[in-house]
Structure 1
Amino acid sequence: MNIPVAEAKARFSELVKRAQAGEEIVVTRHGKPVARVVPAAVEDELPRIGALKGLIRIADDFDAPLEEFAEYMK
């Protein structure tokens, strides 16, 4: 949708609602595009619990004593 600046000022709330619904509004001055009103990009938030499930692997010997510390374990 193309709309002149003066009309865009008068109908700004409506234009924002339309952009939020996915429509692209081109604001014009003297018939030439000067700005666009588009929906904001929404970043998907990763869920905190289980977000990395399947991406991290813990070794089977993760909690096994380290050889370097054997003398401290006696």
Structure 2
Amino acid sequence: MQKVDLKEATKQLEELIHKASQGEEIIIISNDGQPFQILPLKSKTPRPKFGSAKGLIEMSDDFDEPLNDFHEYTP
């Protein structure tokens, strides 16, 4: 973990961003003493893979059959 005051951080911003992207924890201390952390944002949101739920979902054999409670609504 590297702690840097705000004045130094403005001079070394490019280097600090590079270190944070490599996984190093960077803490910037503002003039009033409040700490802030530089974190890289995740550039890509994970997407579900096609077929990843295979075998997890089951449908009953009578899934397409009309429901008894809805006879009055069917033509």
| Residue 4 of structure 1: aligned partner | 5
Q: CA RMSD in A?
A: 3.0
Q: When the two structures are aligned, how many residues end up with a matched partner? A: 69
Give a deviation string over 1:26-61, Cα, whole Å, max 9, x none: 11246x452111233577523252243233212122
Distance in 2 (alpha carbons) for counterparts of 1:57 and 1:42: 35
Distance in 1 (alpha carbons) for counterparts of 2:35 and 2:49: 41
What is the identity, as a one-letter code, of the residue corresponding to 1:54? G
1:60 is paired with a residue whose SS is: coil
User: Scaled by the length of structure 2, what TM-score is found?
Assistant: 0.60
Distance in 2 (alpha carbons) for counterparts of 1:39 and 1:24: 10
Q: Using the aligned pairs only, state the percent identity.
A: 32
Distance in 2 (alpha carbons) for counterparts of 1:29 and 1:40: 22
What is the identity, as a one-letter code, of the residue corresponding to 1:8? A
Distance in 1 (alpha carbons) for counterparts of 2:38 and 2:50: 36
Distance in 1 (alpha carbons) for counterparts of 2:59 and 2:40: 41
1:18 is paired with a residue whose SS is: helix
| Residue 28 of structure 1: aligned partner | 29
Deviation, 1:65, is 5.7
Distance in 1 (alpha carbons) for counterparts of 2:9 and 2:25: 13
